[in-house]
Amino acid sequence: MNEAQIRALAAEVLAGIAPEADLATVGDDEDLREALDLDSMDFMNFVIGLSQGSGRKIPDADTPKLQTMRSLVAYLGG
Amino acid sequence: MADFLMPALGADMETGTVVEWRVHAGDRVRPGDVVAVVETHKGAIDVECFLDGVIDDLAPLGQALPVGTVLARVRGAGEAAAPAAASSPSPSPSPSAPPSAPPVTPPPAPATAPTATAAAAPPPAAGMALPAAATRARVSPAARRRAAELGVLPDALAGSGADGAVVLADVERAAPAAAPAVAPPAAPAPRPRGFDPALMRQAIAAAMAKSKREIPHYYLQTTVDFAAAQAWLDAWNAERDAIDRLLPAVLLLKAAARALVAVPALNGFFDNGAFRPGPGIHIGWAVSLRGGGLVAPAVHDADRKTLPELMTALRDLVQRARSGGLRSSEMTDPTVTVTSLGDRGAESVLGVIYPPQVALIGFGRVVTRPWVVDGQVLPRPLLSLSLAADHRASDGHLGGQLLAAIDDALQQPASL
Protein backbone atom coordinates (compact mmCIF):
# COMPACT_ATOMS: atom_id res chain seq x y z
CA MET A 1 0.00 0.00 0.00
CA ASN A 2 1.20 3.49 -0.70
CA GLU A 3 0.86 6.35 1.73
CA ALA A 4 -2.34 7.74 0.18
CA GLN A 5 -4.00 4.32 0.35
CA ILE A 6 -2.97 3.85 3.95
CA ARG A 7 -4.30 7.26 4.95
CA ALA A 8 -7.54 6.59 3.13
CA LEU A 9 -7.90 3.23 4.88
CA ALA A 10 -7.24 4.75 8.30
CA ALA A 11 -9.82 7.48 7.65
CA GLU A 12 -12.39 4.96 6.50
CA VAL A 13 -11.91 2.69 9.51
CA LEU A 14 -12.04 5.61 11.92
CA ALA A 15 -15.21 6.93 10.34
CA GLY A 16 -16.89 3.71 11.36
CA ILE A 17 -15.64 3.96 14.93
CA ALA A 18 -15.83 7.69 15.62
CA PRO A 19 -18.17 9.14 13.00
CA GLU A 20 -17.84 12.68 14.35
CA ALA A 21 -14.04 12.66 14.39
CA ASP A 22 -12.13 14.53 11.71
CA LEU A 23 -8.82 12.90 10.99
CA ALA A 24 -7.71 15.97 9.05
CA THR A 25 -7.47 17.90 12.32
CA VAL A 26 -5.04 15.40 13.84
CA GLY A 27 -1.33 16.07 13.44
CA ASP A 28 0.91 13.31 12.09
CA ASP A 29 2.68 12.91 15.42
CA GLU A 30 -0.33 13.24 17.68
CA ASP A 31 -1.53 10.25 19.64
CA LEU A 32 -4.64 9.15 17.76
CA ARG A 33 -6.25 7.76 20.88
CA GLU A 34 -5.84 11.01 22.77
CA ALA A 35 -6.78 13.23 19.85
CA LEU A 36 -9.89 11.26 18.90
CA ASP A 37 -10.81 10.05 22.39
CA LEU A 38 -10.62 6.37 21.46
CA ASP A 39 -11.00 3.87 24.28
CA SER A 40 -9.36 0.45 24.26
CA MET A 41 -12.35 -1.13 22.50
CA ASP A 42 -12.27 1.58 19.83
CA PHE A 43 -8.54 1.11 19.33
CA MET A 44 -8.88 -2.65 19.09
CA ASN A 45 -11.58 -2.17 16.44
CA PHE A 46 -9.23 0.25 14.66
CA VAL A 47 -6.51 -2.41 14.59
CA ILE A 48 -8.98 -5.02 13.33
CA GLY A 49 -10.11 -2.65 10.56
CA LEU A 50 -6.54 -1.84 9.51
CA SER A 51 -5.61 -5.51 9.54
CA GLN A 52 -8.60 -6.54 7.44
CA GLY A 53 -8.30 -3.55 5.09
CA SER A 54 -4.61 -4.04 4.44
CA GLY A 55 -4.66 -7.83 4.44
CA ARG A 56 -1.81 -7.81 6.97
CA LYS A 57 -1.59 -9.63 10.23
CA ILE A 58 -0.80 -7.12 12.95
CA PRO A 59 0.72 -8.82 16.00
CA ASP A 60 -0.47 -7.49 19.34
CA ALA A 61 3.07 -6.38 20.15
CA ASP A 62 3.07 -4.11 17.09
CA THR A 63 -0.10 -2.22 17.94
CA PRO A 64 1.78 0.64 19.65
CA LYS A 65 3.14 1.43 16.17
CA LEU A 66 -0.36 2.36 15.08
CA GLN A 67 -0.75 5.15 17.60
CA THR A 68 0.18 8.06 15.35
CA MET A 69 -0.48 8.62 11.66
CA ARG A 70 3.25 8.91 10.93
CA SER A 71 4.16 5.62 12.60
CA LEU A 72 1.06 3.94 11.18
CA VAL A 73 1.97 4.93 7.63
CA ALA A 74 5.53 3.75 8.17
CA TYR A 75 4.39 0.44 9.63
CA LEU A 76 1.77 -0.47 7.04
CA GLY A 77 3.87 0.92 4.17
CA GLY A 78 6.94 -1.02 5.24
CA MET B 1 -56.27 -10.69 25.87
CA ALA B 2 -53.22 -9.15 27.49
CA ASP B 3 -51.91 -5.62 27.42
CA PHE B 4 -48.51 -4.77 26.06
CA LEU B 5 -47.39 -1.75 28.09
CA MET B 6 -44.86 1.00 27.61
CA PRO B 7 -41.96 -0.48 29.61
CA ALA B 8 -39.82 1.47 32.06
CA LEU B 9 -36.42 1.11 30.43
CA GLY B 10 -34.54 2.09 33.54
CA ALA B 11 -34.98 4.03 36.74
CA ASP B 12 -35.01 7.31 34.94
CA MET B 13 -37.64 6.81 32.27
CA GLU B 14 -41.04 8.49 32.57
CA THR B 15 -42.25 8.57 28.99
CA GLY B 16 -41.33 6.98 25.71
CA THR B 17 -42.36 7.56 22.12
CA VAL B 18 -43.09 4.74 19.73
CA VAL B 19 -41.26 5.76 16.58
CA GLU B 20 -41.69 2.53 14.67
CA TRP B 21 -43.81 -0.60 14.85
CA ARG B 22 -41.93 -3.67 13.68
CA VAL B 23 -45.19 -5.61 13.45
CA HIS B 24 -48.56 -4.95 11.88
CA ALA B 25 -51.92 -5.25 13.58
CA GLY B 26 -52.96 -8.88 13.26
CA ASP B 27 -49.42 -10.25 13.25
CA ARG B 28 -48.53 -13.26 15.37
CA VAL B 29 -45.95 -12.39 18.04
CA ARG B 30 -43.90 -14.72 20.16
CA PRO B 31 -42.19 -14.04 23.50
CA GLY B 32 -39.00 -12.08 22.96
CA ASP B 33 -39.94 -10.64 19.57
CA VAL B 34 -38.87 -7.06 18.96
CA VAL B 35 -42.18 -5.40 18.16
CA ALA B 36 -41.48 -1.69 18.40
CA VAL B 37 -38.79 0.94 18.48
CA VAL B 38 -39.26 3.35 21.36
CA GLU B 39 -37.41 6.63 21.58
CA THR B 40 -36.27 7.39 25.12
CA HIS B 41 -33.91 9.87 26.73
CA LYS B 42 -31.23 7.26 26.21
CA GLY B 43 -31.84 6.87 22.51
CA ALA B 44 -33.96 4.50 20.46
CA ILE B 45 -34.52 1.11 22.08
CA ASP B 46 -35.76 -2.05 20.37
CA VAL B 47 -38.64 -3.10 22.59
CA GLU B 48 -39.36 -6.79 23.01
CA CYS B 49 -42.77 -8.18 23.84
CA PHE B 50 -42.95 -11.25 26.06
CA LEU B 51 -46.53 -12.14 25.21
CA ASP B 52 -47.66 -14.86 22.85
CA GLY B 53 -50.52 -14.34 20.42
CA VAL B 54 -51.91 -11.95 17.85
CA ILE B 55 -51.07 -8.30 18.35
CA ASP B 56 -53.61 -5.57 17.71
CA ASP B 57 -54.65 -2.03 18.66
CA LEU B 58 -51.19 -0.60 18.05
CA ALA B 59 -50.64 2.79 19.71
CA PRO B 60 -49.98 5.71 17.39
CA LEU B 61 -46.47 6.75 16.46
CA GLY B 62 -44.85 9.96 17.51
CA GLN B 63 -46.57 10.62 20.85
CA ALA B 64 -44.78 10.76 24.19
CA LEU B 65 -46.61 8.17 26.29
CA PRO B 66 -46.13 7.60 30.01
CA VAL B 67 -44.62 4.36 31.23
CA GLY B 68 -47.41 1.85 31.72
CA THR B 69 -49.55 3.09 28.83
CA VAL B 70 -51.16 0.29 26.85
CA LEU B 71 -49.25 0.17 23.56
CA ALA B 72 -51.08 -2.79 22.08
CA ARG B 73 -53.26 -5.77 22.90
CA VAL B 74 -52.15 -9.35 22.40
CA ARG B 75 -54.82 -11.99 21.96
CA GLY B 76 -53.72 -15.43 23.02
CA ALA B 77 -54.18 -18.44 20.79
CA GLY B 78 -57.76 -19.67 21.02
CA GLU B 79 -59.15 -16.38 22.26
CA ALA B 80 -61.90 -14.98 20.11
CA ALA B 81 -61.25 -11.70 18.42
CA ALA B 82 -62.55 -9.03 20.75
CA PRO B 83 -62.81 -5.74 18.93
CA ALA B 84 -63.78 -3.69 21.97
CA ALA B 85 -60.53 -2.29 23.19
CA ALA B 86 -62.38 -0.93 26.20
CA SER B 87 -63.22 -4.30 27.72
CA SER B 88 -60.06 -4.19 29.68
CA PRO B 89 -58.85 -7.10 31.70
CA SER B 90 -57.19 -6.42 35.00
CA PRO B 91 -53.68 -5.06 34.59
CA SER B 92 -51.36 -7.75 33.41
CA PRO B 93 -47.87 -8.15 34.72
CA SER B 94 -45.31 -6.13 32.91
CA PRO B 95 -44.07 -7.75 29.76
CA SER B 96 -40.44 -7.10 30.39
CA ALA B 97 -40.05 -7.56 34.13
CA PRO B 98 -37.92 -10.56 35.01
CA PRO B 99 -40.09 -13.67 35.30
CA SER B 100 -39.45 -14.03 38.99
CA ALA B 101 -40.20 -10.44 39.82
CA PRO B 102 -42.97 -10.12 42.34
CA PRO B 103 -45.41 -7.29 41.78
CA VAL B 104 -44.17 -4.02 43.10
CA THR B 105 -46.25 -1.66 45.10
CA PRO B 106 -47.25 1.02 42.67
CA PRO B 107 -46.24 4.55 43.46
CA PRO B 108 -48.90 6.50 45.31
CA ALA B 109 -51.47 8.03 43.02
CA PRO B 110 -50.79 11.68 42.48
CA ALA B 111 -53.29 14.05 44.02
CA THR B 112 -54.34 15.26 40.63
CA ALA B 113 -54.67 13.14 37.60
CA PRO B 114 -51.39 13.02 35.75
CA THR B 115 -51.12 14.60 32.39
CA ALA B 116 -49.40 12.90 29.57
CA THR B 117 -46.28 14.94 30.05
CA ALA B 118 -43.09 13.77 31.64
CA ALA B 119 -43.19 16.55 34.17
CA ALA B 120 -46.33 15.32 35.87
CA ALA B 121 -45.96 11.59 35.53
CA PRO B 122 -45.02 9.90 38.79
CA PRO B 123 -41.51 8.56 38.73
CA PRO B 124 -41.57 4.91 37.75
CA ALA B 125 -40.60 2.35 40.31
CA ALA B 126 -36.98 2.02 39.49
CA GLY B 127 -36.09 -0.60 36.97
CA MET B 128 -39.52 -2.17 37.02
CA ALA B 129 -41.70 -2.10 33.99
CA LEU B 130 -44.91 -2.25 35.94
CA PRO B 131 -45.06 1.01 37.83
CA ALA B 132 -47.84 3.32 36.91
CA ALA B 133 -50.12 0.82 35.24
CA ALA B 134 -51.95 -0.15 38.36
CA THR B 135 -52.87 3.36 39.39
CA ARG B 136 -53.10 5.19 36.11
CA ALA B 137 -56.38 5.72 34.42
CA ARG B 138 -56.74 3.06 31.76
CA VAL B 139 -57.18 4.60 28.36
CA SER B 140 -57.92 2.67 25.21
CA PRO B 141 -55.48 3.29 22.36
CA ALA B 142 -58.27 4.68 20.19
CA ALA B 143 -59.32 7.05 22.96
CA ARG B 144 -55.76 8.19 23.48
CA ARG B 145 -55.33 8.80 19.79
CA ARG B 146 -58.52 10.83 19.58
CA ALA B 147 -57.65 12.70 22.77
CA ALA B 148 -54.37 13.79 21.25
CA GLU B 149 -56.22 15.04 18.19
CA LEU B 150 -58.67 16.99 20.33
CA GLY B 151 -56.14 18.31 22.79
CA VAL B 152 -57.85 16.51 25.70
CA LEU B 153 -55.93 14.91 28.55
CA PRO B 154 -57.41 11.41 28.58
CA ASP B 155 -55.97 10.44 31.96
CA ALA B 156 -58.01 13.16 33.64
CA LEU B 157 -61.34 11.85 32.35
CA ALA B 158 -63.84 9.64 34.10
CA GLY B 159 -63.96 6.37 32.23
CA SER B 160 -67.18 4.63 31.32
CA GLY B 161 -65.61 1.45 29.97
CA ALA B 162 -65.05 -1.78 31.82
CA ASP B 163 -62.91 -1.30 34.93
CA GLY B 164 -63.41 2.42 34.53
CA ALA B 165 -61.32 2.54 31.38
CA VAL B 166 -61.49 5.73 29.36
CA VAL B 167 -62.95 4.89 25.98
CA LEU B 168 -63.45 6.81 22.77
CA ALA B 169 -66.91 8.07 23.79
CA ASP B 170 -65.55 9.61 26.99
CA VAL B 171 -63.02 11.55 25.01
CA GLU B 172 -65.58 12.75 22.49
CA ARG B 173 -67.83 13.86 25.33
CA ALA B 174 -65.04 15.76 27.01
CA ALA B 175 -63.97 17.60 23.90
CA PRO B 176 -64.86 21.27 24.02
CA ALA B 177 -68.03 21.79 22.01
CA ALA B 178 -66.43 23.93 19.41
CA ALA B 179 -62.99 22.44 19.58
CA PRO B 180 -61.13 23.44 16.50
CA ALA B 181 -59.66 20.54 14.66
CA VAL B 182 -56.11 20.21 15.86
CA ALA B 183 -53.63 19.25 13.24
CA PRO B 184 -52.79 15.58 13.60
CA PRO B 185 -49.34 14.86 14.94
CA ALA B 186 -46.65 15.34 12.38
CA ALA B 187 -45.59 12.20 10.60
CA PRO B 188 -42.99 10.48 12.72
CA ALA B 189 -39.44 11.21 11.79
CA PRO B 190 -37.38 8.31 10.50
CA ARG B 191 -35.88 6.25 13.23
CA PRO B 192 -33.40 8.40 15.07
CA ARG B 193 -29.91 7.10 15.56
CA GLY B 194 -28.03 7.73 18.73
CA PHE B 195 -29.46 9.98 21.40
CA ASP B 196 -30.06 13.58 22.36
CA PRO B 197 -27.28 14.66 24.77
CA ALA B 198 -29.54 17.09 26.64
CA LEU B 199 -32.20 14.43 27.26
CA MET B 200 -29.52 11.92 28.20
CA ARG B 201 -28.23 14.39 30.77
CA GLN B 202 -31.71 14.73 32.26
CA ALA B 203 -32.12 10.97 32.45
CA ILE B 204 -28.81 10.51 34.23
CA ALA B 205 -29.57 13.42 36.55
CA ALA B 206 -32.90 11.89 37.54
CA ALA B 207 -31.50 8.42 38.20
CA MET B 208 -28.42 9.57 40.06
CA ALA B 209 -30.34 12.09 42.18
CA LYS B 210 -32.76 9.31 43.12
CA SER B 211 -29.83 7.08 43.99
CA LYS B 212 -28.16 9.65 46.25
CA ARG B 213 -31.49 10.62 47.80
CA GLU B 214 -32.60 7.11 48.65
CA ILE B 215 -29.61 4.78 48.81
CA PRO B 216 -27.26 4.91 51.82
CA HIS B 217 -24.05 4.04 50.00
CA TYR B 218 -20.98 2.55 51.60
CA TYR B 219 -17.70 2.30 49.75
CA LEU B 220 -14.78 -0.13 49.80
CA GLN B 221 -11.58 -0.01 47.83
CA THR B 222 -8.73 -2.46 47.42
CA THR B 223 -5.68 -2.79 45.19
CA VAL B 224 -5.32 -5.84 42.97
CA ASP B 225 -1.99 -7.10 41.65
CA PHE B 226 -2.78 -7.41 37.94
CA ALA B 227 0.47 -9.13 36.89
CA ALA B 228 -0.94 -12.65 36.57
CA ALA B 229 -3.94 -11.47 34.57
CA GLN B 230 -1.79 -9.25 32.35
CA ALA B 231 0.69 -12.05 31.63
CA TRP B 232 -2.11 -14.46 30.77
CA LEU B 233 -3.74 -11.86 28.53
CA ASP B 234 -0.48 -11.01 26.73
CA ALA B 235 0.14 -14.70 26.02
CA TRP B 236 -3.40 -15.18 24.74
CA ASN B 237 -3.25 -12.13 22.49
CA ALA B 238 0.28 -12.66 21.16
CA GLU B 239 -0.64 -15.59 18.98
CA ARG B 240 -4.06 -14.46 17.81
CA ASP B 241 -5.45 -12.28 15.08
CA ALA B 242 -6.78 -8.92 16.18
CA ILE B 243 -10.38 -10.09 15.87
CA ASP B 244 -9.80 -12.88 18.42
CA ARG B 245 -7.89 -10.85 21.00
CA LEU B 246 -9.26 -10.05 24.42
CA LEU B 247 -9.31 -6.79 26.33
CA PRO B 248 -8.59 -6.67 30.07
CA ALA B 249 -12.23 -5.63 30.43
CA VAL B 250 -13.48 -9.17 29.78
CA LEU B 251 -11.31 -10.59 32.55
CA LEU B 252 -12.69 -7.97 34.91
CA LEU B 253 -16.25 -8.68 33.81
CA LYS B 254 -15.86 -12.43 34.26
CA ALA B 255 -14.09 -12.10 37.60
CA ALA B 256 -16.88 -9.86 38.88
CA ALA B 257 -19.53 -12.31 37.65
CA ARG B 258 -17.78 -15.26 39.30
CA ALA B 259 -17.50 -13.37 42.56
CA LEU B 260 -21.19 -12.50 42.49
CA VAL B 261 -22.03 -16.19 42.21
CA ALA B 262 -20.15 -16.65 45.48
CA VAL B 263 -21.63 -13.52 47.11
CA PRO B 264 -25.16 -13.37 45.68
CA ALA B 265 -26.40 -10.85 48.24
CA LEU B 266 -24.86 -8.07 46.15
CA ASN B 267 -26.56 -9.17 42.93
CA GLY B 268 -30.14 -7.98 42.79
CA PHE B 269 -32.49 -5.22 43.79
CA PHE B 270 -33.72 -3.32 46.80
CA ASP B 271 -37.38 -2.57 46.54
CA ASN B 272 -40.37 -2.60 48.87
CA GLY B 273 -38.01 -2.35 51.78
CA ALA B 274 -36.24 -5.61 51.13
CA PHE B 275 -33.50 -7.18 49.05
CA ARG B 276 -34.63 -9.28 46.12
CA PRO B 277 -31.98 -11.51 44.52
CA GLY B 278 -31.42 -11.15 40.80
CA PRO B 279 -32.68 -13.98 38.61
CA GLY B 280 -29.21 -14.37 37.10
CA ILE B 281 -25.89 -12.56 36.91
CA HIS B 282 -26.88 -9.89 34.40
CA ILE B 283 -24.11 -7.35 34.53
CA GLY B 284 -24.91 -3.81 33.49
CA TRP B 285 -21.75 -2.78 31.70
CA ALA B 286 -21.24 0.98 31.82
CA VAL B 287 -20.58 2.29 28.31
CA SER B 288 -19.62 5.91 27.91
CA LEU B 289 -21.05 7.40 24.76
CA ARG B 290 -19.14 9.60 22.39
CA GLY B 291 -20.35 13.13 22.85
CA GLY B 292 -21.26 12.55 26.50
CA GLY B 293 -23.65 10.30 28.30
CA LEU B 294 -23.69 6.84 29.71
CA VAL B 295 -25.70 3.65 29.48
CA ALA B 296 -25.20 0.37 31.32
CA PRO B 297 -26.98 -2.34 29.35
CA ALA B 298 -26.97 -5.95 30.48
CA VAL B 299 -24.53 -8.68 29.56
CA HIS B 300 -26.87 -11.55 30.36
CA ASP B 301 -25.61 -14.53 32.38
CA ALA B 302 -22.06 -13.21 32.36
CA ASP B 303 -20.95 -15.95 34.78
CA ARG B 304 -21.82 -18.63 32.24
CA LYS B 305 -20.10 -17.13 29.19
CA THR B 306 -16.55 -17.91 28.12
CA LEU B 307 -14.05 -15.06 27.76
CA PRO B 308 -14.28 -15.03 23.93
CA GLU B 309 -18.08 -15.03 24.22
CA LEU B 310 -17.90 -12.11 26.63
CA MET B 311 -15.58 -10.24 24.28
CA THR B 312 -18.03 -10.71 21.42
CA ALA B 313 -20.96 -9.70 23.62
CA LEU B 314 -19.13 -6.59 24.85
CA ARG B 315 -18.10 -5.49 21.37
CA ASP B 316 -21.66 -5.91 20.14
CA LEU B 317 -23.10 -4.11 23.17
CA VAL B 318 -20.77 -1.13 22.90
CA GLN B 319 -21.45 -0.80 19.20
CA ARG B 320 -25.21 -0.87 19.69
CA ALA B 321 -25.07 1.43 22.71
CA ARG B 322 -23.38 4.03 20.53
CA SER B 323 -25.33 3.65 17.32
CA GLY B 324 -28.78 2.70 18.61
CA GLY B 325 -30.35 -0.72 18.74
CA LEU B 326 -30.14 -1.72 22.39
CA ARG B 327 -32.96 -4.07 23.34
CA SER B 328 -35.46 -3.39 26.10
CA SER B 329 -34.38 -6.48 28.07
CA GLU B 330 -30.83 -5.14 28.09
CA MET B 331 -32.13 -1.93 29.67
CA THR B 332 -34.36 -3.55 32.29
CA ASP B 333 -32.45 -6.69 33.29
CA PRO B 334 -29.13 -5.59 34.86
CA THR B 335 -28.81 -6.95 38.40
CA VAL B 336 -25.58 -5.05 39.17
CA THR B 337 -23.39 -2.51 37.40
CA VAL B 338 -19.69 -2.79 36.55
CA THR B 339 -17.72 0.20 35.39
CA SER B 340 -14.20 -0.11 34.04
CA LEU B 341 -12.40 3.13 33.30
CA GLY B 342 -10.07 1.58 30.75
CA ASP B 343 -6.45 2.28 30.03
CA ARG B 344 -6.92 6.01 29.53
CA GLY B 345 -9.15 6.52 32.55
CA ALA B 346 -8.52 7.64 36.10
CA GLU B 347 -6.79 5.40 38.62
CA SER B 348 -9.88 4.62 40.62
CA VAL B 349 -13.61 5.17 40.76
CA LEU B 350 -16.20 5.15 43.53
CA GLY B 351 -19.52 4.71 41.81
CA VAL B 352 -23.11 5.78 42.27
CA ILE B 353 -25.51 2.83 42.43
CA TYR B 354 -28.12 2.60 39.69
CA PRO B 355 -31.43 2.07 41.47
CA PRO B 356 -32.91 -0.34 42.34
CA GLN B 357 -29.65 -2.28 42.11
CA VAL B 358 -27.65 -2.67 45.32
CA ALA B 359 -24.05 -2.57 44.10
CA LEU B 360 -21.68 -1.01 41.63
CA ILE B 361 -18.25 -2.53 41.06
CA GLY B 362 -15.57 -0.16 39.77
CA PHE B 363 -12.22 -0.85 38.13
CA GLY B 364 -9.65 1.87 37.56
CA ARG B 365 -6.81 2.05 35.06
CA VAL B 366 -3.96 -0.44 35.40
CA VAL B 367 -0.91 1.48 36.61
CA THR B 368 2.66 0.35 37.21
CA ARG B 369 3.71 1.13 40.78
CA PRO B 370 6.18 -0.15 43.37
CA TRP B 371 4.65 -3.10 45.20
CA VAL B 372 5.96 -5.54 47.76
CA VAL B 373 6.15 -9.08 46.40
CA ASP B 374 7.75 -11.80 48.56
CA GLY B 375 9.47 -9.19 50.69
CA GLN B 376 10.88 -7.26 47.76
CA VAL B 377 9.78 -3.99 46.26
CA LEU B 378 9.06 -4.52 42.57
CA PRO B 379 7.41 -2.55 39.77
CA ARG B 380 4.04 -4.16 39.33
CA PRO B 381 0.85 -3.53 37.30
CA LEU B 382 -1.83 -2.61 39.84
CA LEU B 383 -5.54 -2.14 39.55
CA SER B 384 -7.85 -0.28 41.88
CA LEU B 385 -11.00 -2.27 42.61
CA SER B 386 -13.92 -0.63 44.38
CA LEU B 387 -17.42 -1.34 45.53
CA ALA B 388 -20.28 1.04 46.15
CA ALA B 389 -23.06 -0.86 47.88
CA ASP B 390 -26.46 -0.22 49.41
CA HIS B 391 -26.15 -0.36 53.20
CA ARG B 392 -29.83 -1.27 53.50
CA ALA B 393 -29.07 -4.53 51.71
CA SER B 394 -25.59 -5.47 52.94
CA ASP B 395 -22.74 -4.53 55.27
CA GLY B 396 -19.10 -3.84 54.59
CA HIS B 397 -18.03 -7.27 55.73
CA LEU B 398 -19.96 -8.88 52.91
CA GLY B 399 -18.76 -6.24 50.48
CA GLY B 400 -15.21 -7.07 51.46
CA GLN B 401 -15.85 -10.71 50.66
CA LEU B 402 -16.99 -9.76 47.19
CA LEU B 403 -13.84 -7.74 46.52
CA ALA B 404 -11.67 -10.57 47.85
CA ALA B 405 -13.45 -13.02 45.54
CA ILE B 406 -12.83 -10.74 42.54
CA ASP B 407 -9.17 -10.42 43.49
CA ASP B 408 -8.89 -14.22 43.83
CA ALA B 409 -10.41 -14.77 40.42
CA LEU B 410 -7.98 -12.34 38.80
CA GLN B 411 -5.03 -14.19 40.33
CA GLN B 412 -6.12 -17.31 38.43
CA PRO B 413 -6.92 -15.96 34.98
CA ALA B 414 -6.66 -19.36 33.31
CA SER B 415 -9.64 -20.53 35.35
CA LEU B 416 -11.81 -17.70 34.07
Q: Which fold has domain A3-77?
A: 1.10.1200
Name the burial class of residue B192, with classes exposed (0-12), middle (13-18) and buried (19+) by CB atoms within 10 angstroms of its CB.
middle
Instruction: Note the pLDDT of residue B109.
Output: 40
Strands B294-295 and B217-225, sheet pairing: unpaired
Per-residue pLDDT tens over the stretch B366-377: 999 999 999 999
Inter-chain residue contact B247 with A44, CB threshold 8 Å: yes
Give the least confident one: B88-92, B190-194, B363-367. Answer: B88-92
The CATH architecture one would assign to domain B197-415 is: 2-Layer Sandwich (3.30)
With beta carbons under 8 A apart, name residues in chain B contacting A33: 344
Please tell me the distance from the alpha carbon of residue B116 to that of residue B151, in angstroms, as a whole number.
Answer: 11
- Nearest CA-CA distance, residue A38 and chain B, Å: 9
- Whether the per-residue pLDDT at B183 is higher than 70: the answer is no
CB atoms within 10 A of CB B262: 14
Q: Does B308 touch chain A (CB under 8 A)?
A: no
Find, in chain B, the residue whose alpha carbon is nearest to that of A21.
B290
Q: Which of A33, A41, A46, A57 to mutate to test the interface with B (most CBs of B within 10 A)?
A: A41
> pLDDT confidence of B123, banded at 50, 70, 90?
very low
> pLDDT confidence of B172, banded at 50, 70, 90?
low
- Nearest CA-CA distance, residue B40 and chain A, Å: 22
- Whether the per-residue pLDDT at B97 is higher than 70: the answer is no
pTM, entire model: 0.75
Average predicted confidence (pLDDT) for chain A? 92
Give the least confident one: B4-8, B10-14, B156-160. Answer: B156-160
Average predicted confidence (pLDDT) for chain B? 81
In the chain, the amino acid numbered A10 is A
- Whether the per-residue pLDDT at B45 is higher than 80: the answer is yes
Q: Which of B195, B239, B241, B318 to mutate to test the interface with A (most CBs of A within 10 A)?
A: B241
Instruction: Note the pLDDT of residue A24.
Output: 85
Instruction: Note the pLDDT of residue B129.
Output: 36
- In this predicted complex, what is the ipTM? 0.92
With beta carbons under 8 A apart, name residues in chain A contacting B318: 41
With beta carbons under 8 A apart, name residues in chain B contacting A37: 290
Please tell me the distance from the alpha carbon of residue B88 to that of residue B52, in angstroms, as a whole number.
Answer: 18
> pLDDT confidence of B139, banded at 50, 70, 90?
low
> pLDDT confidence of B76, banded at 50, 70, 90?
confident
Instruction: Note the pLDDT of residue B218.
Output: 98
SS3 track for B333-367:
CCCEEEEECCCCCCCCCCCCCCCCECEEEEECCCE
Please tell me the distance from the alpha carbon of residue B324 to that of residue A78, in angstroms, as a whole number.
Answer: 38
Instruction: Note the pLDDT of residue B196.
Output: 81
Instruction: Note the pLDDT of residue B140.
Output: 59
Inter-chain residue contact A20 with B290, CB threshold 8 Å: yes
Inter-chain residue contact A18 with B290, CB threshold 8 Å: yes
- Whether the per-residue pLDDT at B171 is higher than 70: the answer is no
Find, in chain A, the residue whose alpha carbon is nearest to that of B237.
A60
Q: Does B193 touch chain A (CB under 8 A)?
A: no
Q: Could you give the percent of chain B with pLDDT greater than 70?
A: 72
Kindly list the domain boundaries of chain B, sorted by start residue: 2-174, 197-415
CATH of domain B2-174: 2.40.50.100
- Nearest CA-CA distance, residue A32 and chain B, Å: 12
A10 or B124, which is more confident?
A10
B179 or B415, which is more confident?
B415
Give the least confident one: B105-114, B144-153, B160-169. Answer: B105-114
Find, in chain B, the residue whose alpha carbon is nearest to that of A60.
B238
Nearest to B318 among A34, A41, A52 (CB): A41
Instruction: Note the pLDDT of residue B44.
Output: 86
Nearest to B315 among A41, A52, A58 (CB): A41
Instruction: Note the pLDDT of residue B292.
Output: 82
> pLDDT confidence of A16, banded at 50, 70, 90?
confident
Instruction: Note the pLDDT of residue B173.
Output: 66
Q: Which of B250, B289, B290, B339 to mutate to test the interface with A (most CBs of A within 10 A)?
A: B290
Inter-chain residue contact B238 with A59, CB threshold 8 Å: yes
Per-residue pLDDT tens over the stretch B192-248: 456 788 888 888 999 999 999 999 999 999 999 999 999 999 999 998 999 999 999
Please tell me the distance from the alpha carbon of residue B51 to that of residue B54, in angstroms, as a whole number.
Answer: 9
- Whether the per-residue pLDDT at B120 is higher than 50: the answer is no
Nearest to A33 among B241, B288, B344 (CB): B344
Instruction: Note the pLDDT of residue B107.
Output: 42
Q: Mean pLDDT over residues B263-274, rounded?
A: 96
Q: Mean pLDDT over residues B295-305, rounded?
A: 96
Per-residue pLDDT tens over the stretch B321-353: 888 889 999 999 999 999 999 999 999 999 999
Q: Mean pLDDT over residues B169-182, rounded?
A: 55
Instruction: Note the pLDDT of residue B253.
Output: 98
> pLDDT confidence of B398, banded at 50, 70, 90?
very high
Instruction: Note the pLDDT of residue B149.
Output: 59
